[in-house]
Structure 1
C-alpha cells in the first residue's frame, strides 16, 4: 500500500473534556517528512490515535493510498515519546515485535539494522542495560522494519538531553534519507521541526484547528550548521509568533 496519508476534516470530542479536534485536514506524501507542532494538550496525540485506528473520529475520513482506513488498526508503525521497550525482552526480541504482530518476522533484517546503527553487540542486552539514546534507536528500528509503510513518531526525543537529542535527529535523518519512508512527526520543539521536516503543520489550542502550513525548503542533507543560519532563525521566530498568536 502506498504511504500517502490523507486526513480529511476529522473531529473528535470526549464527554468529559469536550471537543479536541475541529475539522483537521492534513496530508503526507509518499516519502515525505511532515511535522505537527502545537501547544501542550492541543490534541496532537489524538490525531495520531485517530490515524492509528485507536479512536474513531465522529466526523471525517482517513485514507492511506486509495484505501479508507478510518477506525482501522494495523496500517501504521508507531514510535511513542517513551520507548515502550518490553523489559523482559532483549534488544533483538524488542526489534522483532512489530514484525511478529504482522506475522512477517525477518531475523536477518533485524540483525542487519542493529549492525547498521551500532547495536549488534547489544542484541542480547535488556532495556535496563542501555542508555537513553540506545533505547530510542531500538524503538526506531522496531518501527522502521515494521511492514507498515507510514511511520508516526510522537515526540521520540523529548526525554533526551540537548546533545543526545541533536545526535538522534541527525541519525534519524541519515536513516530516513536512505529509506524514504513517509513520516508524520509530533514535536513541541520549533527548532527540531524545522531541522527535520519538509512541511510543518501548526495547531491552535484545543479544540485544535490547523492555523498554518509551512513549507521548509532548506536543502538536504542537513547538518547542525543549519541551526545557526539567519533564515533558519527567522523562520523559528515566525513559527514562535504563530504559536503564540494561536493561544
Structure 2
C-alpha cells in the first residue's frame, strides 16, 4: 500500500512513518496542511493518516477539500482531540476512522490495513498466481510453499504485479503506486528493484515469473508462445 502521513510533530511523524515502512508500505509525509493537500491531490494513495491540528491549513479543512474534489481515499484521523464532538465532526466531514493520541502502533497498523482492504473489496487477503502467494494480512510471500523474504518496496511491487496479473504494469504506474515520489528519473530504480525481485522469486526447476515487455513495463507469467 501507499500511505500519506500528514503530521506536524516531527517525532510522531517519524514514528508513524517507520512503523508503516516496517509493514512494507510506501510512505509519503507532509508536515503541514497545504503540503498534505497538494500531495493528496497529486498522487494516488491507498490511505491517508492525518492529524487535525496542522500549520497553514488544519486537518478538517484538508479533509473537506479532499471530499469536495471527489477524492474517496480512506482517511484515518490521528489526533489528540479525542472528544466525542471532535470524532463526530471528523466523521461527518468525511473521515473513515478516528484514532486518538496516545495510540498503540499495533492498533494504528491494523486500522490502516482495514481501510486499505476496504478500498479493494474485490481482492482477498491472499493474492495468488500459479505457485506464488502473497498474504496481505500476514505480510508474507511464498512460492511453491517456500517462504521468500522481501523488502517493503519489493513487497509493494509484487503486490501491484499480482493485482494486475497477467496484464502488464507500466513503469509510470509502478512509480506512482510503489514509490514515495513520482519522478521519471526513478525509472532506473524500478529496473533495479524488478531485477532483485526476479532473483528472489527464482526457484530451481521453476520458470521465471516476471517478464519484461519492451516499451510497456513488466508482467507476471511466462512469455506467450
Which TM-score applies when normalising by structure 2?
Answer: 0.30
Q: Whose helix fraction is larger, Structure 1's or Structure 2's?
A: 2
Q: Which has the higher contact order (CA 8 A, sep 6+)?
A: 1
Which TM-score applies when normalising by structure 1?
Answer: 0.28
